[in-house]
Structure 1
Amino acid sequence: MGNKNSRSKHERSLIKNIQEFNQIESDQERHEKFLGYYFSTSTDSIDRFHVFHFLRQYIFQSNFSSPVEENLIRGGYKVLDVGCGPGTWLLDLSSKYESSYFFGVDSELMFPQEIKPNNVEFFKADVSAGLLFGDNEFDFTHIELMRLIYTSDKWDFILSELIRVTKPGGYIEVADRRNENVERAPILRKLMDTINESGLKRNVDINLIYSLESKFELHPNIGNVHQIEKKIIVGLNSDKIGLVSRELALAFLKSEPILIKFLSEELGVSEEEYKKLIEKDLVEEFEQVYSESIYVRIWAQKQLT
Structure 2
Amino acid sequence: MGGAISINKLRKKNKSKHTRTIQRYEKKTDDVKEPLKYYLANFMKDTDIMVLLHFLGRYLFQSIHNAPVEEILTNENCKVLDVGCGAGTWLLESATLYRSSSFLGIDLCTVYPAEIKPDNVEFMQVDVLNGLPFEDNTYDYVHQGNMVEVYTIEQWNFIISELIRVCKPGGYIEFTEPELAPKTGPILKRFYDALIELSESRNVRIRMYRNLIKILNSTQTVHNIESKVAIVPLGMKKGGNVGQTYLEVHDGFFLNDPMPETMSKIMNLSRQEYFDLFDEAKQEIEKGVAPDCEIYRIWCQKKI
Q: TM-score, normalised by structure 2?
A: 0.82
* Structure whose residues are more often helix by fraction: 1
CA contact (8 A) 2:223 2:301 kept: yes
Which aligned pairs between 1:122-161 and structure 2 lie closer than 5 A?
A: 122-161=123-162
Distance 1:282 1:122 in 2: 40
Over the matched positions of the two proteins, sequence identity in percent amounts to 36
Structure 2: which amino acid aligns with 1:54?
F
- Structure 1 stretches of 4+ with a deviation exceeding 3 A read 32-36
Q: In the alignment, is the contact (CA less than 8 A) between 1:34 and 1:259 conserved in 2?
A: no
How many residue pairs align between the two structures? 273
Q: Is structure 2 residue 41 aligned with structure 1 residue 39? A: yes
Structure 2: runs of 5 or more not aligned: 1-24
In the alignment, is the contact (CA less than 8 A) between 1:171 and 1:301 conserved in 2?
A: yes
Aligned residue in 1 for 2:293: 293
8 A Cα contact 1:147 1:176, kept in partner: yes
Instruction: Indicate how the Cα distance of structure 1 residues 277 and 52 shifts in structure 2: closer, same or farther if over 3 A, else same.
Output: same
The answer on whether the counterparts of 1:75 and 1:97 sit within 8 Å (CA) in structure 2 is no
Which residue in the other structure is 1:12 paired with?
none
Aligned positions of 1:220-299 closer than 5 A: 220-235=220-235, 236-256=237-257, 258-278=258-278, 280-288=279-287, 289-299=289-299
- Structure 1 residues 246 and 113: CA distance shift in structure 2, 3 A: same
Unpaired segments ≥5 residues, structure 1: 1-16
Query: CA offset at residue 111 of structure 1?
Result: 1.5
Partner of 2:187: 187
Q: Is the 8 A contact 2:108 2:127 kept in 1?
A: yes
Q: Where do residues 88-237 of structure 1 align in structure 2 (5 Å cutoff)?
A: 88-179=89-180, 182-235=182-235, 236-237=237-238
CA RMSD of aligned residues (A): 2.4
Counterpart residue type for residue 285 of structure 1: E
Preserved contact between residue 90 and residue 104 of structure 1 (Cα < 8 Å): yes
**1:18-46 CA distances to partner (integer Å, 9 max, x unpaired)?**
xx9xxx9xxxx9xx78964x511343x21
CA distance in 2, matches of 1:254, 1:207: 20
CA distance in 2, matches of 1:221, 1:243: 41
User: Could you tell me how far apart the structure 1 residues matched to 2:173 and 2:100 are?
Assistant: 21
User: Higher strand share goes to which structure?
Assistant: 2
Greater alpha carbon shift after TM alignment, 292-301 vs 200-209: 200-209
CA–CA distance in structure 1, aligned partners of residues 57 and 204 of structure 2: 24
2:283 maps to a residue whose letter is: E
